[in-house]
Amino acid sequence: MLYPQTNLFRQVFDLSGFWDFRFDPQGRGLDEGWPEGLGETYPIAVPASWNDQFADERDYLGPAWYQTRFDLPWGWEQKRVFLRFGSVNYLAQVWLNGVFIGQHEGGHLPFEFEITSCVQREGNLLIVRVEGHLAPDRVPPGNVPADPLDAFGSANYPPTSFDFFPYCGIQRPVLLYAVPHEGIGDITVITGADGTVCLRVEASGQATRRVTLRGHGTNLAAESDGGEIMLSVPQPALWSPETPNLYDMTVELIGKEGVFDRYTLPVGIRTIEVAGDALLLNGHPIVLKGFGRHEDFPIFGRGYAPPVLIKDYALMKWVGANSFRTTHYPYSEQMLDLADRLGFLVIDETPAVGLFFAEEGLERRLTLCRQYVREMIARDKNHPSVIMWSLANEPHSHRPAAKAFFRDLYDLAKSLDPTRPVTLVSYLGLGEEAFEFLDVVCLNRYFGWYLQQGRLDEGCALLDAELDALHQKYPRPLILTEFGADAVAGHHAQPPEMFSEEYQAEMIARYIAILNRKPFIVGQHVWNLCDFKTGQAVHRVGALNLKGVFTRDRRPKLAAHRLRELWGGL
Ligand code: GCB
């Protein structure tokens, strides 16, 4: 799926701004004809979650309705016109000029509708109904009934099956874009460390495909009438965190009258593979140092907030990190563009967090997970920064159905992208049977926090032993994808005790010392880069998870300084 762009043949128009908004707690909108106009409304900023924009309604999860009007830019009558949503959480239903044009389930991934036949030159009325209820047969699930098999159920409020606030609304940009009637549909780029760049271009219409690749002293071109196109870059400037070299690639379609469509994208030449216990980037072992994170900021909620992205990269670089996981859903496309430019290694994760495997709703959850795997890979396959797909975070895999569920998703991911390792992130450890076929073992651990509370010696000894046991059972690279402790900024204790900055810093440093001793550990991701908003629960003071090494407004705690020493950000 290509991100819309503007050039001689294509054009993008961003509908971000203040839209009209209306809550619909009684669910009257459909009966009262709101698809044709909302009547009385209040202004709302788009994109941004709705929850923190008003004085009340923080916990209201929908339905709610959005409305905006637009005219077509000049010259678009000759084009195909699409409407594209970057992310709407959770269920979106869309009407244009009173006509229902489609719906999409699941946040954090883009969807689009062709509107060529129903868009007017002037006075278009766009209406979006959004609904974010938590339900056991949605992914991620919510309102999950207690399960006697694994003592799991939703206990917090709102009743999520995950530990972050279920922000709702239009959270990423809504774009209107125009492309030629015949043109480039999709591009897939696969690179080799020897400098081969292999391209698949999907296009409609009779055309020659011309590809040019420029940068780092190279200026190559190739043409083809279909099928794959191969380029070979002599002495390639490979992409890596230390040298995030990108080439400019341009794909053009040429017909009888000349060029009639063009698309440009940055290309990083690199390989990623698992070999024995190692994770190899361009044939060399790498160790991921970084974080789990959240798209989370006061007032914006989970809304796209460009300065926060820049700040978070600056903080990660300051600490010496080279990597992050898109916990627990795919991040904005802009975040990945920046990862390509700035040299970060990304584990890209689907929104499948907190899955459970009771019979009821299972088929539906699997269907949704398949959809997310497809949509994520279609969106992110061309980013050199993305080095691994994560199918899920902390599934409650106690029932036998879990293994077949993940086998299905693993095979799907591999069939769509045979070039990247596929994993899932587990808290079960030895009991996670999907590790039998996954390429990399990813584990979250909080010994010395949720267990062995206040007893770091005991916790660290357990961690040490478990990592070895896990590696013996599943001999492949292992990443500790989460570890950390809550710390109230400004709370200090000597000797360290839980919730003090000292305890958090010491726990993280002691974990890292253990990880550094084990050659099969190829990654250490601290939970979390920043404090973030959660639902209400006794263990979430102020409805915040305080495991950030930075506060929610991005100020360092002691642990950030300690990490900087350990990871060489100094
Ligand atoms: C986990 C989850 C993460 C939570 C974290 C915690 O294992 O993957 O979503 O926020 O623990 O702090 O409890």
CA count, 13 A, side-chain hemisphere, 252: 16
Mean pLDDT of 491-499: 98
Q: How far, rounded to the nearest angstrom, does the alpha carbon of residue 62 sit from its chain's CA centroid?
A: 23
Q: Is residue 518 part of a domain?
A: yes
Ligand 1 atom nearest 484 alpha carbon? 12
Which protein residue's CA is at the shortest distance from atom 4 of ligand 1?
163
User: Phi, psi (5° rounding) for residue 403?
Assistant: -65, -45
Same domain, 142 and 230: no
Active site residue 242: no
Same domain, 465 and 495: yes
The CATH number linked to 555 is 3.20.20.80
Same domain, 38 and 160: yes
Question: Which residue among 482, 530, 544 has the greatest number of ligand 1 atoms within 8 angstroms of its CB, and so is best to mutate?
Answer: 482
Question: Which residue among 329, 527, 545 has the greatest number of ligand 1 atoms within 8 angstroms of its CB, and so is best to mutate?
Answer: 527
Query: For residues 452 and 440, is the Cβ–Cβ distance under 8 A?
Result: no
Report how far ligand 1's centroid is from the alpha carbon of 395 (Å): 12
Question: Which residue among 545, 546, 549, 552 has the greatest number of ligand 1 atoms within 8 angstroms of its CB, and so is best to mutate?
Answer: 545
Which protein residue's CA is at the shortest distance from atom 6 of ligand 1?
163
Length of the chain: 570
Report how far ligand 1's centroid is from the alpha carbon of 30 (Å): 38
Same domain, 236 and 122: no
Residue where a domain terminates, one of 130, 145, 179: 179
Report how far ligand 1's centroid is from the alpha carbon of 259 (Å): 51
Q: Is residue 347 part of a domain?
A: no
Please say if the pLDDT value at position 147 is more than 80. Answer: no
Query: For residues 98 and 69, is the Cβ–Cβ distance under 8 A?
Result: no
What pLDDT score was predicted for residue 570? 61
CA count, 13 A, side-chain hemisphere, 537: 20
Same domain, 168 and 195: no
Q: How far, rounded to the nearest angstrom, does the alpha carbon of residue 471 sit from its chain's CA centroid?
A: 28
Q: Which helix (H) or strand (E) holds 229?
A: strand 228-232
**How does residue 145 score in pLDDT terms, banded at 50, 70 and 90?**
confident
Q: Is residue 116 part of a domain?
A: yes
Same domain, 71 and 97: yes
pTM of the model: 0.98
Question: Which residue among 425, 444, 453, 534 has the greatest number of ligand 1 atoms within 8 angstroms of its CB, and so is best to mutate?
Answer: 444
Query: For residues 107 and 171, is the Cβ–Cβ distance under 8 A?
Result: yes
Same domain, 117 and 250: no
Active site residue 32: no
Report how far ligand 1's centroid is from the alpha carbon of 543 (Å): 14
Report how far ligand 1's centroid is from the alpha carbon of 163 (Å): 6
CA count, 13 A, side-chain hemisphere, 532: 22
Q: Helix, strand, coil proportions of the chain in percent (round to 5)?
A: 20, 35, 45
Contacts 24+ apart (CB under 8 A), 435-440: 435/473, 435/474, 436/403, 436/474, 437/407, 437/410, 438/406, 438/410, 439/274, 439/388, 439/476, 440/274, 440/279, 440/388, 440/476, 440/477, 440/478, 440/479, 440/522
User: In this prediction, what percent of the chain has a pLDDT beyond 70?
Assistant: 98
What pLDDT score was predicted for residue 151? 58
**Torsion angle (degrees, nearest 10) of CA 559, 562, 567, 570:** 120
Q: Is residue 245 part of a domain?
A: yes
Mean pLDDT of 370-376: 98
Question: Which one of the listed residues 295, 394, 501, 506 is annotated catalytic?
Answer: 394
Mean pLDDT of 246-274: 97
Q: Is residue 88 part of a domain?
A: yes
Ligand 1 atom nearest 545 alpha carbon? 12
Q: Is residue 198 part of a domain?
A: yes
Report how far ligand 1's centroid is from the alpha carbon of 156 (Å): 14
Same domain, 141 and 89: yes
Which protein residue's CA is at the shortest distance from atom 7 of ligand 1?
444
Structural domain for 218, as ranges = 184-267
Residue where a domain terminates, one of 267, 299, 332: 267
* Amino acid identity for residue 254 in this structure: I
Q: Is residue 252 part of a domain?
A: yes
Q: Is residue 193 part of a domain?
A: yes
DSSP output for 310-379: HHHHHHHHHHT--EEE-TTS---HHHHHHHHHHT-EEEEE-S-BS-B--STTHHHHHHHHHHHHHHHHHH
What pLDDT score was predicted for residue 154? 65
Which protein residue's CA is at the shortest distance from atom 10 of ligand 1?
163
Residue where a domain terminates, one of 116, 151, 179: 179
Please say if the pLDDT value at position 196 is more than 80. Answer: yes
d(Cα 370, Cα 353) in Å, to the nearest integer? 14
Residues in the ligand 1 pocket, defined by CB under 6 Å: 163, 328, 393-394, 427, 444, 482, 527, 545, 547
**How does residue 51 score in pLDDT terms, banded at 50, 70 and 90?**
very high
Question: Which one of the listed residues 432, 482, 502, 506 is annotated catalytic?
Answer: 482
Please say if the pLDDT value at position 24 is more than 80. Answer: yes
Instruction: Note the pLDDT tens digit of each residue in 82-102.
Output: 999 999 999 999 999 999 999
Report how far ligand 1's centroid is from the alpha carbon of 393 (Å): 9
d(Cα 65, Cα 26) in Å, to the nearest integer? 12
> Which residues touch 16 (CB under 8 Å, ≥6 apart)?
46, 47, 173, 174
Please say if the pLDDT value at position 157 is more than 80. Answer: yes
Ligand 1 atom nearest 394 alpha carbon? 8
Same domain, 551 and 499: yes
The residue among 169, 173, 231 whose CA lies nearest residue 200 is 231
The CATH number linked to 197 is 2.60.40.10
What pLDDT score was predicted for residue 153? 63
Please say if the pLDDT value at position 152 is more than 70. Answer: no
What pLDDT score was predicted for residue 36? 98
How would you class 420 by CB atoms within 10 Å of its CB: exposed for 0-12, middle for 13-18, buried for 19 or more? buried
Mean pLDDT of 19-45: 98
Provide the number of structural domains found in the chain: 3
